[in-house]
Copies of this chain bind each other. A is one copy, B any other.
Amino acid sequence: MNVTTWRLPFDPIAKAAETWRQRIGPNWAMSAVTNIMRVQQILQASVDEALRPHGLTFARYEALVLLSFSQRGSLPMRMMGERLQLHPTSITNIVDRLEADGLVRRLRHPSDRRTTLVEITEAGKGRLGPATDAVMNADFGLVGLSEADADALGALLTNVRRAAGDFD
């Protein structure tokens, strides 16, 4: 059973919000939270499914894109964590898998022996094109939004991230 293919005759989040309002009180924040959680789940499933034929998950795809965008095609693992906003151990995990698939390579940093550089390989670059096509064609499950809607959504979410202290 694929969770993302369920279809209820009503919106369970709206229903929960209504019950909450009756029992406890108004709760716009709670509703927004559950909405985001569920949409994230939908998008994650949608993008991962599009990438599966290419042997990538969204997290690994993002890592590859990040490396391909860098000047030298390589970055320290710590910087990858900052940019992707993932825990160092998550980066270790992602790089382990990409390296096992031959899509990236670990290199010593020339001057700082603590640092490991991660470099995208030719195979990695070759994988990126078709994977990007797949992601673009998957439309991310955002079919319910116009471009203007998506921009508005992005602005609201960016406000949340700024308020949460993600960046200055």
Interfacial residues, chain A to chain B (CB-CB below 8 A): 1, 3-16, 19-20, 23-24, 27-44, 46-47, 58, 62, 65-66, 69, 82-88, 132, 135-136, 139-145, 147, 149-154, 156-168
Contact = CB atoms under 8 A, between A and B. Distances in A.
10 contacts: A3-B87, A4-B164, A4-B165, A5-B165, A14-B158, A16-B69, A38-B85, A141-B164, A143-B163, A144-B159
A20 B12 CA distance: 36
A16 to B, nearest CB: 7
The secondary structure that dominates the A interface is helix
Contacts of A65: 16, 20
Nearest to A139: B29
